[in-house]
Amino acid sequence: MDVLTGIGDMQVRAEQDRLAGKNIGVVPTMGALHEGHMNLVRAARSACDVVTVTIFVNPKQFGPGEDFNSYPRVLERDLSACEAEGVDIVFAPEAGEMYPEGFSTKVAVAGLTAVLEGAARPGHFDGVTTVVAKLFAITKPHRAYFGQKDAQQVAVIKRMVRDMNFDLEIVVCPIIREPDGLAMSSRNVYLSSDERREALALFRALKKAEELVASGTRKSADILEGMKQTLTDTEIRKRDYIAIVNPATMEPVETLEPDQPVLVAVAARVGGTRLIDNTIVTLAE
């Protein structure tokens, strides 16, 4: 496995692989790799000749007062995990390499970035699309792998790829959960054992939504009300949003229609940690 830190070296290597006719799969990450990431790596490994994992804690997607400084950084452990899954290349640049003096470009998707995570974290998605566009230009993927856990990020990146004609395929892999249902996240390490228990409220509310839709509930207002009933008063106060939206546009959906999947998304603060989770549901015919 090669570990590259320079943009030029990475570009040369990617170009050589392309010229050799190899199919490149890229898994962009901020490190602190967990099973959710490894699932993306395995999906890339099974479909691509060359698998590149990028590890970069991107300062541009953290707002003031967010956890940029405390975000877990465990490069040696991440490299071992990548090696064990047969990753070919890890690209792990320093911030100065990605954003040198004078860097002044921003890639921004309008509209669907203004709501939900975008409303709670102003500027977050501009940071994500700016770094992901750079990572695509540097690692030259045929396919790039993202997790459904960050459902709005997926929608925003797909829109950027479509609007800017990036010549690659976005592959979305399912949310990976702990045995009790908690969605895997690099931020779960911040949770105390009490908070870990409290965090299950997100999954409980999503399960309720799935049950209600399976039993034919069509009105989003009824589904949202049912979800709120699964939460204690404290959990309700700590929640940031519960929403039922179109998974591609993030626009609210009032009534579910058969065969039209909707995204049920939740975000809540548990202790000092902000957690997100979601499920895609479809009303049966």
Q: Under the rule (CB under 6 A), what is the footprint of ligand PAF?
A: 28-30, 58, 61, 128, 131-132, 150, 153
Asked about 37 being catalytic, the answer comes back as yes
The distance of closest approach from Cβ of residue 142 to ligand PAF in the complex, given in angstroms and rounded to an integer, is 18
C-beta separation of 115 from 236 below 8 A: no
* Least spacing, CB of residue 72 vs ligand PAF, in Å: 12
Under a CB-based contact definition with an 8 Å cutoff, are residues 93 and 68 in contact? Answer: no
Residue 150 or 235 having the CB closest to ligand PAF: 150
Nearer to ligand PAF by Cβ, of 173 and 256: the residue is 173
CA–CA gap between residue 241 and residue 218 (Å, rounded): 20
CB of 26 or CB of 256, closer to ligand PAF: 26
In the bound complex, what is the minimum distance in angstroms from residue 180's beta carbon to ligand PAF? 23
Cα–Cα dist 41/144, whole Å: 10
C-alpha torsion angle, residues 148, 151, 157, 158 (rounded to 10): 80
Nearer to ligand PAF, 58 or 188 (CB): 58
The full length of the chain comes to: 285
- Which of the following is catalytic: 34, 37, 124, 142? 37
Beta-ladder partners of 144: 26, 170
Smallest distance from the beta carbon of 47 to ligand PAF, in angstroms?
Answer: 19
**AA identity, residue 211:** E
What's the rounded Cα separation, in Å, for the pair 13 and 24?
Answer: 11
Active-site residue numbers? 37
